[in-house]
Structure 1
Amino acid sequence: MRESVSGNAELRFSLLGPVRAWRGEESLPTGSPYQRALLAALLMREGRTATAAELIDSLWGAEPPASALPVVRTYASRLRKVLGSDVVVSRSGGYAISALPEGAVDLWTAQRLAEEAERARAAGDLDQARDVLGRALAVWDGEPLAGVPGPYAEAQRARLEEWRLQLIESRLDLDLEQGRHAEAVAELTALTAAHPLRERLRELLMLALYRSGRQAEALAVYADTRRLLAEELGVDPRPGLSYLQQRILQADPALSAPSAPVTGPAALPVVPAQLPASVPDFTGRTAFVEELHDVLASGEGEVMAVSSLTGIGGVGKTALAVQVAHRA
């Protein structure tokens, strides 16, 4: 839980780039790479307590040094001296970051802006949603947790990079909804070159090319995607991408670009249809997420695709369902 305390209102932290700390305009020393790893692990928990064992595992994994526990205590003591004893607190044999204002961590700011963009899009205000997504993406300052060692930082880097790409895809999707397909082609071309196996980017590029009057190039993207997936992974494109190819071949009128960029909120009242918030650090289950997403996307017309999840209590059925629902 984040707490707002006026005495620490000037403290700021960066996680979406190098791990840094400031008090006002003054840069604060964050110590060695492993001390920064400890600071990052605490900040990522947003006020929740991390036990000493969890922190040791975060920093060194399965093979910690014999001195791991006293080293963790030393790092925590040094951070307490720099940040304040009311910020780095000892709880139940572990540590937590406490007493920070809402906007003290750049990651928290990006999360808040992403949620604001979702609300704007749900309300039909595509212009506002796109603008806020752009502000969320501007918070990034390079590779997240740059230079921070340890298995926890490595996993979080991958998660945050995946989230950043999802935000980019959402913003580009808004570009296409607003008729900005010509401008989107160049960015999508660069992104697909950097992430050649990311099918959602390929799908957006195909649609942007088609709407720009470049049907042959759109179909060439599909052919290249199919070849690449077969060579690299031994799989076919997901059903959604194949369906788009068929619609392009048939010149489906529904694929046509909007007649004019859509701006401002929708004129009609919005029917509430909100999902529960997804888990911010959801990891694993990649194969299940892809499989369920493809099943849900396979329904056509008035036919509804249905899937069920079964398993013993506590294995994460609800978290998985919510994650897939947000993608769908």
Structure 2
Amino acid sequence: MQSSAHQTRLGLIYGFAAYGAWGVIPLFWPLLKPAGAAEILAHRMVWSLPVCLLILLALGRWSWIRPLLRQPRRLALIAASAAVITVNWGVYIWAVNDGRVVEAALGYFINPLVSIAFGVVLLRERLRPLQWAAVATGGIAVVVLAVGYGRLPWVALTLALSFGTYGLLKKHVGLEGVEGFAAETAMQFVPATAFLVYLTARGDSTFTTEGVGHPLLLASCGIVTAAPLIAFGASAVRLPLSMLGMLQYLAPTLQFLLGLLYFHESMPPERWAGFALVWAALTLLTWDALRTAHRGRAALRAAVASRPKEAPAVAPPVADRA
């Protein structure tokens, strides 16, 4: 059996691979031009399904399909999660190719705050004081950013709200990572294929009009989508939630740096102020999570230490043994 330290190292490698890939993905979508965001999105959905099927074939995981088909409520939740992640993917691809990488990164920075707000409003969860402070700081940040942009940062809010809703729906679906993703892409496949057929019939498809490399890049959307999810799943089973929670900030940090340094997007002082407030809110959340995890471990150690030790069994005298 592999040691806990080895499993943690593996989990960190997989986690950095997953969040690192998500962090640099803004470099990929511009390569697919002149395809528009809708066409790229449709190819992403279409080519993700065969990748999922190959993974399921390699793992031999098919037994979940038949029971799922007999559960209309779970199928409805999967359809809803597929619809929500479609919105998330579509807005993200459009934002990157429209020169809004920094605002897209903001969406994933504020996503943990949205998830906490959902927990309070929808699941009646109780927040600790630092969590309340983080949510309030995040709300102020949105106001500051709205003033800075001259409008609500709707790209960031749409990405955060859609991904937060997706996470909420996934909790209720209760499928493992690969199985859940396969079910969602199966829901997406038919409408995405129909849209691509429609584009081709209108003469608006770029799949066969831009040379050999272009269709290969469009087909690679399936691998680009599935590979980080597989790495994330491998990381999630090996790392504690507190460590995984800190890793999640790697992706929007890389996206933000790409937007600033590679795509040269503007960052006037009021946007810096808004981002600073968001980062302050995330610092409060991280500190609270680490402190809570530390207290939990300490309480567990104290509980184990306080258990009375069992007295060793005393062997009967030799003369009394049968």
Q: Would you say same fold, with TM above 0.5?
A: no
Which is richer in strand? 1
| Higher RCO (Cα < 8 Å, 6 or more apart) | 2
TM-score (norm 2): 0.27
Which is richer in helix? 2
Q: Which has the larger radius of gyration?
A: 2
TM-score (norm 1): 0.26
